[in-house]
Amino acid sequence: MRLAGSCTNASCAVARPPESEPTLYTGTSGFSYATWKGKFYPPALAGARMLDYYAQKLTGVELNGSFYRTPPESTLLKWASDTPPGFRFCMKANRGLTYSAEGFDRVGLASIFTRRIAVLGERLGPVLLQFPPARQQNILLLDSLLSALGRPAAAEFRHESWFDEETYGVIREHGGALVVTDEAKWPRAPLVDLGSVAYFRLRRGYSAASLRPWVDEVRSAVATHDEVHVYFKHDSGSPALAQRLLRLAGKEPVRR
């Protein structure tokens, strides 16, 4: 597989300024799981130290809790202080933005949400904007939400009606990304190059052999994007998969 719309020879490769290096951010959906003790975390590690430990091993985290409630400012500030500058948090947008009924003030909520998470500063990665399977293509909604968020967002669509040039044009205009999700029950988005950011959600269990095609795709994305985000599902074996991906397709985080 190749990214649709991406160049396949050196003459049309994306040019980057000399000082700019592509960065691979990879990790899991969430980090605070007691069941990971003895598997990823040391058995006696205190819950309050999980993020610090996690950020020494991985370079990003996708936080699904914000889908239900935005963490308080004090929590966000502590997360920022507990992680190195090269670490990124990808916050899942509140469900009211895309799962709510007609008449709900989605744009107003998007503005509130983006303002609250802004305290993460440089550690804030793209917002994960997930559309449910019942939500078919609505270009005006997509454009209004991306405008209200006012920051890069990675759009995940669970209905195939979204996968066309009109959708891609709106995402491109807002500097966003189309999420490529590997999960049995949802349609997989095509590999479309829309800008400087690529975003993958790998939601299955993977052997070394089944992970290899994704390593190749991620390596290809790193070569053509300024930043690439890859997050595995919240299983105890997922941190090891993310670390393997870092070794094979990017750079492991610098130990502090």
Average pLDDT across each block of 10 residues of the chain; the chain has 256 residues. List them in order: 36 32 87 96 96 97 95 96 95 95 91 97 97 96 97 97 98 98 95 95 96 96 95 96 93 49
**Domain CATH code at residue 44:** 3.20.20.410
CA angle 209, 219, 230 (to 5 degrees): 80
For residue 162, tell me if it sits in a domain. yes
What pLDDT, on the 0 to 100 scale, is given for residue 176?
97
For residue 1, tell me if it sits in a domain. no
CA angle 41, 46, 65 (to 5 degrees): 80
For residue 255, tell me if it sits in a domain. no
Phi, psi of 226 (to 5 degrees): -75, -35
Pairing verdict, β 23-28 and 227-232? parallel
Number of domains in the chain: 1
- CB distance 131 to 155 below 8 Å: yes
What pLDDT, on the 0 to 100 scale, is given for residue 85?
93
What pLDDT, on the 0 to 100 scale, is given for residue 9?
32
Residue 131 CA, distance from chain mean position: 14
pTM: 0.89
For residue 5, tell me if it sits in a domain. no
For residue 195, tell me if it sits in a domain. yes
For residue 6, tell me if it sits in a domain. no
Find the helix or strand (DSSP H, E) in which 52 lies: helix 50-57
Q: Which domain holds residue 98?
A: 20-249
Question: Across the chain, where does the E strand assignment appear?
Answer: 23-28, 60-63, 88-91, 127-131, 153-157, 177-182, 197-202, 227-232
Rounded Cα–Cα distance for residues 129 and 25 (Å)? 18
For residue 3, tell me if it sits in a domain. no
